[in-house]
Amino acid sequence: MASRASPLRAAIRDRFFPVAEAHGFVRRKAAHPLFTDFRREGEGKVQLFDIQWDKYHRPSFVLNFGEAPCGDLNVHGTLVLAEQVGPANCPFGGRLQRFKDGSLSCWFRLRKPWREVVRFGGWNYRPEQVADEVIGAFKELEEWWTSKVEGLHVYVR
C-alpha cells in the first residue's frame, strides 16, 4: 500500500531534485528513510540541506539547511566526521518552508492554508504545484548561502 505522501514525493523527486543537482548539489544516502540529503562543497565550506518528510507519512515536508567549514566539526564537545555533517550540526542554518515561522503548519504540504481555501476554493494543491513552490523558494535559499539575507521562506534558527 502506498503512502498518502507518495504522489508528493514523486513530484519532488521528478521536479525538484534535478534543480538542486543543477545547482551543484549531490544527493547522498540518508541515514533514515524520512530524510533525503543533499550536499555541495566549495571555497572551504560545505552547504547542505535535507528534505525532512512528515514522520506520520502525511504529504508534508520541510528543508533543513546549513553551512559549515569543510572537514570534521566539534559540536558541543563531540567530533562529527566531515562525511557525517548534517544541517543540525552546522553553526549556521535553519529551514526553508512555506511560511517564515517555526511551527509544523509552515511546512510545504498538499493541504492549502485556510485563507487560500476561502479565497480560491479547493482543499489541496496538486503535487506539481507544491514542487514548483519549493523550486521558487529554493532561490531564496541560494541567496541566503550567498549573502545571509533571509527571504520570505527562510527561517534561520
**Domain layout of the chain by residue ranges:** 6-149
Please list the residues that pair with 96 across neighbouring strands.
63, 154
Whole-angstrom Cα distance, residue 23 to residue 156? 21
**The C-alpha cell of 18 is what?**
534535478
Query: Which of 20-29, 65-74, 107-116, 148-157 holds the top average pLDDT?
Result: 20-29
pTM for the complete prediction?
0.90
The answer to whether the Cα torsion of 24, 28, 31, 34 is positive or negative is: positive
Q: Which three cell numbers stand for residue 155?
A: 527561517
> Is the separation of the CB atoms in 42 and 24 below 8 Å?
yes
Q: Which three cell numbers stand for residue 129?
A: 504545484
Banded pLDDT at 2 (limits 50, 70, 90): low
Tell me the C-alpha distance between 108 and 97, whole Å. 6
Contact (Cβ atoms closer than 8 angstroms) between residue 141 and residue 154 = yes
Dig out the grid coordinates for 118 from the structure: 476561502
3-state helix, strand, coil in the chain (%, to 5): 35, 30, 35
Average model confidence (pLDDT) for the chain? 90
Asked if residue 102 has pLDDT above 80, the reply is no
Tens digit of each residue's pLDDT (9 = 90 or more) over 53-87: 999 999 999 999 999 888 877 877 888 777 888 88
72 close to 81: Cβ distance less than 8 angstroms: yes
